[in-house]
Structure 1
Amino acid sequence: MLGKNSGVATRLTARYPNLFTWHCMNHHLELAVSDAVDEVQAVNHFKVFLEKIHNLYSQSKKIHEKKWARKS
C-alpha cells in the first residue's frame, strides 16, 4: 500500500501533497519477524547441509578403515 511508484499512499500524496503516511507499528513488527524467520530458515538449511556432509563422511568405509588402522 505504500509502494514507491503506484501504492495507495503515493497516489493520495500526489493528490494531497500535505498528507503524511506511515506504516503502523504492527506492520513494522510483522516485517521484522518475517525477515528474521527468513534468516533462521537459511541458517537451518545450512545446518542440515552440514549434517548431511558429516553423515556422509562418517559412514564412509575408507574413513572407518583408517580409524581402525590407527587404533591398532
Structure 2
Amino acid sequence: MLGKKSGMATRLTARYPNLFTWHCMNHRLELAVSDAVDEVQAINHFKAFMEKIHNLYSQSNKNSQELQEAHKT
C-alpha cells in the first residue's frame, strides 16, 4: 500500500501534500526481521531445520509424546 509509484499512500500524498504516511510499527519490525533473516544464510538453514523438526513432532502424537517424555528427564 506504500508503493513508490502507484501505492495508495503515494496517491494520497500526491493529492494531499502535507499527509504523513508510515507503516505500522509491527509491520515495520516484521519487514526488518524478514530482511535480516534473508541476508544471513546460516539462519536460513537453521530456520529450515527447525521447521522440519516442528513438522515431524507436530504431526505425530507418538513423536510428540516422546518429545514431552524426553523433556521431563
After TM superposition, the score normalised by the length of structure 2 is 0.51
> Unaligned 5+ residue runs, structure 1?
47-72
CA distance in 2, matches of 1:39, 1:32: 11
> Unaligned 5+ residue runs, structure 2?
46-73
* 1:34 match: secondary structure: helix
RMSD: 2.1
Aligned partners of 2:2 and 2:9 also within 8 Å: yes
Pair 1:45–1:32, CA change in 2 (3 A)? closer
Superposition deviation, residue 43 in structure 1: 2.6
Count matched residues.
Answer: 45
Larger Rg: 1
1:3-61 deviations in whole A, cap 9, x for unaligned?
11111000001111111111111111001110122133x23578xxxxxxxxxxxxxxx
